[in-house]
Chain A
């Protein structure tokens, strides 16, 4: 529908501008006008004295030559809604004579047709009190245009109520279409509002907007805007539906041409529309051949029913699922009492309505009811019946679902094994079980009820074992790699081991009084230890090293003297006679001390 947004915005701007001008004019008049010019008058007027229900009139309270202390308020009149719109003002100087006026405007909207009198309004201007004259307003009921006027195409807009038929049965749900015809010469339509939909004998339900259509009446093309209403007849007799009345505003400025520069007209017109009343006959439901289980359902329905499990013990719950699908008032459908189910304990059913149309007249209502067999003699769930009145056939119809065979065991008997329905089953789509799986006969392994493993401290501590092992391996690997990458460190450790082994060999040589071997080992150890310290091959170490390489590096004199003594001792041993075991043994501690000094040297 087209709208008049731009125009409404313009009106708001105009009102605020009026307020500003009013203030300026009043201030100017108060300061400039001589006292003799301020003689005030007060009058009330209506822009028209006859209205159609749904239309509005403007009540103006005008003050000339003065301003009231407060906005005058018209009295409350039953069925007449009066709303303050705002003030307007006028200021003029003609031949030196200054005049000013302020007008307070009210919108008057009748709620019902009839003759109204707007009483005199009193206002206070300065110290004087003014009273307006009473006003008469005639409000006419909106009437539908004649068929001749409609067919000639002379109407700008009108409404029609279209019913599918003229006779309905009580309880029947149907749809009615309200059509708004608007001549195509109308550029914009806004403010369509239903003001009355008399529907005595009906319940008006949901409504939806239907697709717009075009039609030709006389020489005029019309757009038909439709709304579909759902109605349900609730009492019998001759009834009248309508007249439906509505207001609509036609015309107005084009939103794309707010100033009318390109020919867009700014006129708008409020119309009160009414449809022809529709006489309808509502037929009461026949009193003959009423099924015993009929509970008021009217429409056309189909029924399906399932029940399960069907292999049960006395007292076990069986879920009965009933689906009623069709056309009618689905919300009002209830399952009838089933007297044949006297061997069952029944619980109130749960319901679910799924509609396939927006009006909620077409769809499915699902009932799920739990029943319990009360004795083991029950062999079947008795047939389920549902009766309704079919308004198309004008007759009662009864739908019946066959009995569902049951296997009901006494409550004390051993439960039957799981029954699987159907032979074709797949692992992905197992069939529904009909009962619980029976008890276990073996107790199985017992366990203490306690906190889970993941929260037991011993288990958490146990997880530290592999972590510790890994860390230890990582540290070990690091040390091995360091040693492999450091030849001096490796040699130092090898020499330390050689010295330990050599000293042991010297002790054995001393004990065996093997002087040659003793001093040969001593000399070798000297070479190894000094070679390691000087990072030189052991074979390159001679006595000359002491003066050439050790002394320049600041080795203590005592150490040098001791080393020199041992070198000379080795040289002498090659020529001197063999020493005794005691003498050899006495050499070892001194030699060991010298080796420790050399080992500690930082060269």
Chain B
């Protein structure tokens, strides 16, 4: 068999390994069983293919604008670069690289809060991008004063995007129901399928729980990122209210309530107060 015409298994694995892995957790049992995750990468690639043609076309259209914004950045015109990136986003297009570069431009322009906001948007699209995680951490390290530190489980949840959690849970559900259907159609296979059915049943329960928590955190637990150089958190939703504490650009706070143009925020269990809405970016959860 000629190596020039046919790809060996190793070649396929190498090619597939460069594809994004949307289902890292699903690959775990296969790894344990000694299987390659190549098949799963192929599945992920198949999922991506669905939206690929339109995305590729848009990318070609948007590339000049993206390059022009990058050029502004290289020239040190960080504010102009940020504006250019934002114009692209206003057209309804978004990509992880776009948000990433927007975050960089904001950071270089000294707007740490807006930079963190952009990085977090990018995190929703590519949660495991090491460059993104490095920059987000670097920006967070620059924050002075009180800020919300995500819990370990929140950091763990954000390693997989919400849509990836959805695909994982749905995939496990489909496989589990397929196994259950097979048990109905071929009762003789029941003993052989028992372990797999049990494993996927547990996986469905765990993944659906993770999806539920991730969905709650992403959609119903908003966070506020301070974008003002310095903002006074007051004890009531009034300009005349006494100062509770002060937060600085980039501080991340949990939003507890809102009233008119004020948000009730907390940095921790002891520091709770009201902040004017125009001093923060309100984003989905941590």
Binding site for B on A (CB under 8 A): 313, 315-317, 319, 350, 368, 370, 410-414, 418, 432-433, 435-449, 452-455, 459, 462-463, 466-467, 469-470, 473-474, 476-477
- Judge whether B215 is part of the interface by a CB distance below 8 angstroms: yes
Residue pair B104, A439 in contact (C-beta under 8 Å): yes
Enumerate chain B residues within 8 angstroms of A477, measured Cβ to Cβ.
Answer: 184-185, 187
User: Which A-chain residue is minimally distant from B115 (CB atoms)?
Assistant: A436
Residue pair B218, A452 in contact (C-beta under 8 Å): yes
Residue pair B94, A454 in contact (C-beta under 8 Å): no
Selected from B48, B95, B144, the residue in CB contact (under 8 A) with A446 is B95
Residue pair A439, B73 in contact (C-beta under 8 Å): yes
27 contacts between A and B (CB under 8 A): A319-B142, A350-B145, A370-B144, A410-B76, A412-B76, A435-B138, A436-B139, A440-B100, A443-B66, A443-B97, A445-B52, A445-B95, A446-B58, A447-B125, A448-B94, A452-B215, A452-B219, A453-B162, A453-B166, A454-B163, A454-B165, A459-B166, A459-B170, A463-B170, A473-B184, A474-B184, A476-B185
Nearest-neighbour CB distance to chain A for B205, whole angstroms, equals 15
Residue pair A444, B97 in contact (C-beta under 8 Å): yes
- Judge whether B92 is part of the interface by a CB distance below 8 angstroms: yes
Q: On chain B, which size bracket covers the interface?
A: 35 or more
Query: Which of B58, B89, B108, B165 has the most A CB atoms < 10 Å from its CB?
Result: B108
- Judge whether B211 is part of the interface by a CB distance below 8 angstroms: yes
Also in contact, A454 and B104, with CB within 8 A (given A473-B181, A474-B184): no
Nearest-neighbour CB distance to chain B for A151, whole angstroms, equals 55
Binding site for A on B (CB under 8 A): 48, 51-52, 55-56, 58-59, 62-63, 66, 70, 73-76, 89, 92-98, 100-101, 104, 107-108, 110, 125, 131, 134-135, 137-139, 141-142, 144-145, 162-163, 165-167, 170, 173-174, 177-178, 180-181, 184-185, 187, 211, 215, 218-219
Selected from A368, A455, A470, the residue in CB contact (under 8 A) with B180 is A470
Enumerate chain B residues within 8 angstroms of A313, measured Cβ to Cβ.
Answer: 76, 108
Enumerate chain A residues within 8 angstroms of B174, measured Cβ to Cβ.
Answer: 466
A441-B70, A445-B48, A453-B167 known; 12 other A-B pairs, CB under 8 Å? A316-B108, A413-B76, A443-B98, A449-B94, A453-B166, A459-B166, A459-B170, A463-B170, A466-B173, A469-B181, A470-B184, A477-B187
Also in contact, A447 and B95, with CB within 8 A (given A452-B218, A473-B185): yes
Enumerate chain A residues within 8 angstroms of B177, measured Cβ to Cβ.
Answer: 466-467, 469-470
Enumerate chain B residues within 8 angstroms of A470, measured Cβ to Cβ.
Answer: 177, 180-181, 184
Query: Which of B73, B107, B162, B180 has the most A CB atoms < 10 Å from its CB?
Result: B180
Also in contact, A463 and B173, with CB within 8 A (given A443-B66, A455-B219, A477-B184): yes
Selected from A319, A368, A453, A466, the residue in CB contact (under 8 A) with B181 is A466
Residue pair B100, A439 in contact (C-beta under 8 Å): yes
